């Protein structure tokens, strides 16, 4: 295999010391943060005690979002089709401000920990929150976890030649160690470290890559002629290769492309990505949980601005190096003949995914390869850890409390930790599936699956927060209708296959003809209309159930009659009976063995007796969303500046 000669074993002292130093730093920060917050309570474990300041919030938002899938996917799609894929990142600049200014104030005053809990309070009933929990967990496993692990696997295979299973299992175990013990606080502090590592390493690689080709103007000049030497079909009976399959696109350096012939049409880029973005940034547990852990609303907003500025970087740190990689290695990264591609990267569709690992191997001097490995590990571990923690929050607070309403805090925290281990096991079992389904355009795959499944959820959340008239029946039938419509598009496309330029898919135009970003917009609008129509035809929800649950009532101080009070009552009564049953067993627990005590201190499970007052106290300390006026104006002005910078970047590259 041609790529054997390009594999480098990390064997020199500099590389090894960098990697070891990185792991020591991450684990050290993880353990240090364990002593800073009380992890024995639900609020402490899942929400870091609501005490984080703006810089861990911002860094954690960025590191949770940027995974190894971004490195491999953004660079690969950039190599294949130019800078438009950076629009996904730059769209988030505005969506993250929506999160901080419009959505988080409502989530904070509502006093919720998970998003399904918010929907339960807002609409009442249990079917909507159950739907959201299940769909979120499935989306995590099939899009985020599998893609990040696949990208990590591609990098490890291409650049290092290590055994896939051993390396991924080792990574997952290290991640699980500090996720399980430390909770959200450990994650957010380690994410700050990971952010520095990611940006430092990626900057180094970008610098070396630009030096290799001779600067930005050389990139502009040479990209258009980066064609491979082999482009004639080896089997003309089976297929022919047209020139557009291997020639770089003419509009490679524009963000906004032709709406009908472009691969990322501009209405889709401007609005379709926003729809998926509203789901990802404003209503998904992973991201919102980090904002809920902040000390105050001003800290949330400042953290969102920091995350926005950091999201300017991936275009320069990942997309441009991907294009440079194609210029330097047109025969490997830009291969088009299926037999060639199979030889180079074991997949016939195309080898654009190896763009970033190839650069790391060839352009970085030997001391810094260890740094790049640390960067990839940082991206992989930070994203995976965040997903593990949030999925365990979802499972514990929404699904487990439904199965066992009498569960006390201690049991919830233990269940949360056990679920992380379960999901690690599921992820390991998912590796062979992901390897078998290797497809050429990784980033496209995530984005298209999100575009088919997330617009109904985004519509529900947007309407739930801003339109009081929307009620439970409307929301539920809107979700079901949206799911049906999304599946109508997703299943045929998976059945027929996405195809490639050389072997186009034979999916009929009616089913697969509309671009997935346009489909996201259509699905969003249809779901919203359906929700509004069904809501107007049924009973409204009275204001007294909606105080502090909608944007217009976020400052109201009246008492709210929770729509899920029945479930809360049921849970309280179940806990009372459990406590009475366990009164005798408390005496037994006094005699604990040494090992039990050690494990307990590691997991900070202090206190044998549960005080019900503690739980009530936490619920009564409603997060306060008032802001100091001086800081409010500072933060608003900063947001305006950031939006101006974002608009300038869009205008420059449009």
Partner 1 sequence: MGPLLPLVSSLLLVVGSVGAQTGLPKYERLLPQWLTGIIAVSGFLLLTFIAFVVKKVWCEKSSRRRNSRDSETAPAVNHYDMSLRGVSKTSGNVQETYDTVLDHNNRRKSSTDENTYEACEASTDERRRDDHGEYENVKSKGHKDKATAM
Cα separation of 457 and 413, whole Å?
28
Q: Which of 641, 643, 58 is nearest to 302 (CA)?
A: 58
Long-range contacts for 37-40 (Cβ within 8 Å, ≥24 apart)?
Answer: 37/183, 37/185, 38/604, 39/181, 39/182, 39/183, 39/185, 39/413, 39/603, 39/604, 40/409, 40/410, 40/413, 40/604, 40/605, 40/606, 40/607
**Member of 554, 560, 564, 604 binding partner 1 (CB under 8 A):** 554
Q: What is the token pair recorded at 227?
A: 């064609």
Q: Is the dihedral of CA 216, 221, 223, 229 positive or negative?
A: negative
> Any contact of residue 492 with partner 1 (CB under 8 A)?
no
Report angle CA 276, 57, 378 to the nearest 5 degrees.
Answer: 80
> Any contact of residue 229 with partner 1 (CB under 8 A)?
no
> Any contact of residue 497 with partner 1 (CB under 8 A)?
no
Q: Which is nearer to partner 1, 55 or 101 (CB)?
A: 101
Q: Which is nearer to partner 1, 220 or 425 (CB)?
A: 220
Q: Which of residues 610-639 bind partner 1 (CB under 8 A)?
A: 632
Please, what is the minimum distance in Å from the beta carbon of residue 296 to partner 1? 16
> Any contact of residue 31 with partner 1 (CB under 8 A)?
no
Q: Which is nearer to partner 1, 388 or 650 (CB)?
A: 650
Q: Which of residues 245-274 bind partner 1 (CB under 8 A)?
A: 247, 250-251, 253-254
**Is the distance from CB of 252 to CB of 323 less than 8 angstroms?**
yes
Q: How many of the chain's residues bind partner 1 (CB under 8 A)?
A: 27
Please, what is the minimum distance in Å from the beta carbon of residue 220 to partner 1? 11
Find the DSSP H helices in 397-515.
Answer: 401-403, 409-436, 442-453, 455-466, 472-496, 509-512
**Is the distance from CB of 514 to CB of 522 less than 8 angstroms?**
yes
Cα separation of 50 and 286, whole Å?
15
Q: Is the dihedral of CA 439, 441, 442, 447 positive or negative?
A: negative
Binding mask 504-543 for partner 1 (x = CB under 8 A): ---------------------------------------x
**Member of 35, 196, 495, 648 binding partner 1 (CB under 8 A):** 648
Pick the stretch among 160-168, 360-368, 567-575, 644-652 that binds partner 1 (CB under 8 A). 644-652
Q: Is the dihedral of CA 514, 519, 523, 526 positive or negative?
A: negative
Beta-carbon neighbour count of residue 14 at 10 Å?
15
Pick the stretch among 14-22, 143-151, 322-330, 552-560 that binds partner 1 (CB under 8 A). 552-560
Q: What is the token pair recorded at 459?
A: 């519509």
Contacts of 95 (CB under 8 A, 6+ apart): 274, 277, 278, 280, 281, 282
Report angle CA 574, 126, 280 to the nearest 5 degrees.
Answer: 120
Query: Which residue has 């049409």 as its token pair?
Result: 265
Q: Which is nearer to partner 1, 236 or 651 (CB)?
A: 651
> Any contact of residue 477 with partner 1 (CB under 8 A)?
no
Beta-carbon neighbour count of residue 240 at 10 Å?
11
Q: Which of residues 408-447 bind partner 1 (CB under 8 A)?
A: none
Q: Which is nearer to partner 1, 425 or 644 (CB)?
A: 644
Please, what is the minimum distance in Å from the beta carbon of residue 116 to partner 1? 26
Q: Which is nearer to partner 1, 327 or 380 (CB)?
A: 327
Beta-carbon neighbour count of residue 398 at 10 Å?
25
Cα separation of 378 and 185, whole Å?
17
Plot region of 595 (φ>0 → left; ψ -120 to 50 → alpha; else → beta): alpha
Distances (CA, A) of 562 to 121, 539, 552: 6, 17, 17
Pick the stretch among 323-331, 413-421, 496-504, 549-557 that binds partner 1 (CB under 8 A). 549-557
**Member of 12, 225, 581, 608 binding partner 1 (CB under 8 A):** 225
> Any contact of residue 592 with partner 1 (CB under 8 A)?
no
> Any contact of residue 650 with partner 1 (CB under 8 A)?
yes
Cα separation of 492 and 483, whole Å?
14
Please, what is the minimum distance in Å from the beta carbon of residue 64 to partner 1? 28
Q: What is the token pair recorded at 593?
A: 């063995």
Q: Please list the residues that pair with 504 across neighbouring strands.
A: 499
Please, what is the minimum distance in Å from the beta carbon of residue 552 to partner 1? 4
> Any contact of residue 98 with partner 1 (CB under 8 A)?
no
> Any contact of residue 221 with partner 1 (CB under 8 A)?
no
Q: Which is nearer to partner 1, 380 or 462 (CB)?
A: 462
Please, what is the minimum distance in Å from the beta carbon of residue 644 to partner 1? 5
Please, what is the minimum distance in Å from the beta carbon of residue 622 to partner 1? 17
> Any contact of residue 233 with partner 1 (CB under 8 A)?
no
Please, what is the minimum distance in Å from the beta carbon of residue 558 to partner 1? 8
Q: Which is nearer to partner 1, 365 or 651 (CB)?
A: 651
> Any contact of residue 552 with partner 1 (CB under 8 A)?
yes
Please, what is the minimum distance in Å from the beta carbon of residue 338 to partner 1? 22
Interface residues toward partner 1, by CB under 8 A: 224-225, 243, 247, 250-251, 253-254, 543, 551-556, 632, 640, 643-644, 647-654
């Amino acid at each position: 295999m041609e790529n054997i000669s390009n594999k480098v074993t990390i064997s020199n002292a500099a590389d090894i010391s960098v990697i070891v130093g990185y792991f020591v730093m991450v684990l050290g920060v993880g353990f240090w943060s364990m002593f800073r917050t009380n992890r024995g309570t639900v609020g402490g474990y899942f929400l870091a005690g609501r005490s984080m300041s703006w810089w861990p919030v911002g860094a954690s938002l960025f590191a949770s979002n940027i995974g190894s899938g971004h490195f491999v996917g953004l660079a690969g799609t950039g190599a294949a089709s130019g800078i438009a894929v950076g629009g996904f990142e730059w769209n988030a600049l505005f969506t993250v401000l929506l999160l901080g200014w419009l959505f988080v104030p409502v989530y904070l005053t509502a006093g919720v920990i998970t998003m399904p809990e918010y929907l339960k309070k807002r609409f009442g009933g249990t079917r909507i929150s159950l739907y959201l929990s299940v769909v979120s967990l499935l989306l995590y496993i099939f899009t985020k976890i599998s893609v990040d692990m696949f990208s990590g696997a591609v990098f490890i295979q291409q650049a290092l030649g290590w055994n896939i299973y051993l390396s991924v299992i080792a990574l997952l175990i290290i991640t699980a160690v500090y996720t399980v013990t430390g909770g959200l606080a450990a994650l957010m502090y380690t994410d700050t470290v990971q952010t520095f590592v990611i940006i430092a390493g990626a900057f180094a690689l970008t610098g070396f890559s630009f030096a290799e080709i001779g600067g930005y103007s050389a990139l502009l000049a040479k990209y258009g002629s980066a064609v491979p030497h082999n482009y004639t079909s080896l089997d003309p009976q089976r297929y022919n290769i047209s020139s557009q399959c291997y020639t770089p696109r003419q509009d490679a350096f524009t963000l906004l492309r032709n709406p009908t012939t472009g691969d990322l049409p501009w209405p889709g880029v401007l609005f379709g990505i926003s729809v998926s973005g509203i789901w990802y940034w404003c209503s998904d547990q992973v991201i919102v949980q980090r904002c809920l852990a902040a000390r105050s609303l001003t800290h949330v907003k400042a953290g969102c601005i920091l995350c926005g500025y950091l999201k300017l970087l991936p275009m320069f740190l990942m997309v441009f190096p991907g294009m440079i990689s194609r210029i330097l290695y047109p025969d490997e990264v830009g291969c088009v003949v299926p037999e060639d591609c199979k030889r180079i990267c074991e997949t016939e569709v195309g080898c654009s995914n190896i763009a970033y690992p190839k650069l790391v191997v060839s352009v970085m001097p030997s001391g810094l390869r260890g740094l790049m490995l640390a960067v990839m590990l940082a991206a992989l571990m930070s994203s995976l850890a965040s997903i593990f923690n949030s999925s365990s929050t979802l499972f514990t607070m929404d699904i487990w409390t439904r199965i066992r309403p009498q569960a006390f805090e201690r049991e919830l925290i233990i269940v949360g930790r056990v679920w992380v281990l379960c999901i690690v096991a599921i992820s390991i079992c998912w590796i062979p599936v992901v390897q078998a389904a290797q497809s050429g355009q990784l980033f496209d795959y995530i984005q298209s699956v999100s575009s088919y499944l997330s617009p109904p959820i985004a519509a529900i959340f947007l309407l739930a927060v801003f339109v009081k008239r929307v009620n439970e029946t409307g929301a539920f039938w809107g979700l079901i209708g949206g799911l049906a419509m999304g599946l109508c598009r997703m299943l045929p496309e998976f059945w027929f296959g996405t195809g490639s330029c050389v072997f186009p898919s034979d999916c009929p135009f009616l089913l697969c003809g509309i671009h997935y970003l346009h489909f996201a917009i259509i699905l969003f609008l249809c779901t919203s209309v359906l929700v509004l129509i069904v809501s107007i035809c049924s009973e409204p929800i009275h204001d007294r159930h909606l105080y502090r649950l909608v944007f217009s009532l976020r400052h109201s101080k009246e008492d709210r009659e929770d729509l899920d009070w029945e479930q809360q009552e049921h849970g309280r009564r179940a806990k009372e009976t459990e406590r009475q049953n366990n009164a005798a067993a408390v005496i037994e627990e006094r005699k604990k063995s040494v090992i039990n005590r050690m494990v307990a201190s590691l997991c900070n499970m202090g206190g044998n007796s549960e005080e019900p007052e503690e739980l009530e106290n936490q619920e009564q300390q409603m997060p306060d969303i008032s802001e100091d006026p001086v800081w409010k104006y500072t933060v608003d002005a900063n947001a305006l500046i950031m939006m101006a910078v974002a608009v300038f970047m869009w205008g420059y590259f449009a």
